[in-house]
Amino acid sequence: MAIQRMSRRRLFGLSGLSLLGTSMSGWLPQLAAQVLQSGQSPPRSCILLWMSGGPSQMETFDPHQGHENGGPTKAIETSVPGIRIAEHLPKLAGQMQDLAVIRSMTTKEGDHTRATYYLRTGYLPQGPLLYPAMGSVLGKSLQREASDLPACISINPFRSLSPAAFTSGFLGPAWSPLVVASETGAENDVSFRVRNLKPADRLSGQQVDERLRLLGVLEQSFLAERPDVPVRSHLQSYERAVRMMKSSSVEAFQLEQEDEALREAYGRNPFGQGCLLARRLVERGVPFVEVSLNSLTDDVGPGWDTHVDNFKAVADLCGVLDPAWTTLLTDLRQRGLLQNTLVIWMGEFGRTPKINPSGGRDHWPGSWSAVLGGGGIRGGQVWGSVSDDGLEIRENPVRVPDLMATICRGLGLDPAMTNLSNIGRPIPLADHGATAIEQLLV
């Protein structure tokens, strides 16, 4: 079909629509369906479960029961014989056939700011380059023309530790994540609302359309005189905002449409309901969604930064993580979405194998765990291992660029594919020298 090769600009031209005019949401989903029926590969999506503060590998996916460094945490069997994980994740243990655990992640970055930036962008901070977050890069690479929603949506991010790690960097504002925060109402009901989607009540639909057309004329005139990247990005941002405002796809944020039993299974908390929202967004064509699990208290913070009372803190966090992640995988599978949705679980580093005097674990970038599952990943396996005391990697160390390359390959992307930076350098999706872990890929 020739229509598959059309750019968004060309589609606007053929439809006779102004940049900020009538919504195309009525026929764009139909176009998407036609593309899929034409024999193209199904679109792929990615969900990142981000654990702010750095989760302990010892109390999650690499327990060391019987060693003094393992503390009181017990290991339990999973659905895959021979693979054991921490007792705090009993529901997830039944999903191991779809998960690949990496137990040999390693970096030199033990500072929250630098480590968060490194894991979320795939690059160390350096010089004049502001690297885009993974969500912006992958969202841009996976974006479908038919989608009325942004390419990257970030749910409840905790950005204070490393603000630059949550931006679109040199890709510009057109690829900035849409940040969505949860609101807890009566009876602890969690909801999500995108601000400024509805026009003022005093304006009629005709008035709104006329103002948008005027804005479109002014924007196009400004662009004609200043055809620069920032101006074009600004224009694209408005275009996407208006398409979203006029689209029925925003119903994705109305969780009350879901069955109450399913909402309970995810967990009536910001992270659980955020995972449900992630499924609804992926279902509507959003290529990248991230959900952050931060502090469980009213003081939002990096809850996984367990310098004190690590064992209770991790157990409580896993009490929220376990049902939400498990239900997400089950929900995606039952809807036929899991085979094309890559789910990532990670934080910026792990925790010290040795327990400190406060019963906590400190920052540890030397040997820690991350998990991949779903689309493009061969589940039911563990990659890499550490010594009995957890202090050293015994086999198959995994660098951040290698993890990024593996994620790209799992999503059907070439890790060597580049984006042009603000200083004119082509920047690959995964840093130079990255090697994907072939054994983890389908």
d(CA 133, CA 156): 15
Helix (H/G/I), strand (E/B), else coil: 16: coil
Q: What is the per-residue pLDDT across 390-442, written as a single tens digit (0 to 9) for each?
A: 999 999 999 999 999 999 999 999 999 999 998 899 999 999 999 999 999 99
Question: Across residues 61-68, what is the average pLDDT?
Answer: 98
User: Residues 252-292: pLDDT tens digits?
Assistant: 999 999 999 999 999 999 999 999 999 999 999 999 999 99
* Number of other residues whose CB lies within 10 A of the CB of residue 81: 9
Mean pLDDT score across all residues of the chain? 87
108 phi/psi in degrees, rounded to 5: -110, 10
Strands (E), 238-295: 288-293
As a whole number, mean pLDDT of residues 41-63 equals 95
Q: What pLDDT, on a 0 to 100 scale, did the predictor assign at position 249? A: 76
**Rounded-to-5 percentages of helix, strand, coil across the chain:** 40, 15, 45
Tens of pLDDT, residues 287-298: 999 999 998 876
Phi, psi torsion values for 381, nearest 5 degrees: -150, 160
Reading the block at residue 419, the tokens are: 């984006």
CA distance 219 to 213: 10
pTM: 0.85
Band (pLDDT 50/70/90 cuts) for residue 128 is confident
Residues of the chain with pLDDT > 90, as a percent, come to 71
Q: Which of 253, 259, 254, 220 is nearest to 236 (CA)?
A: 220
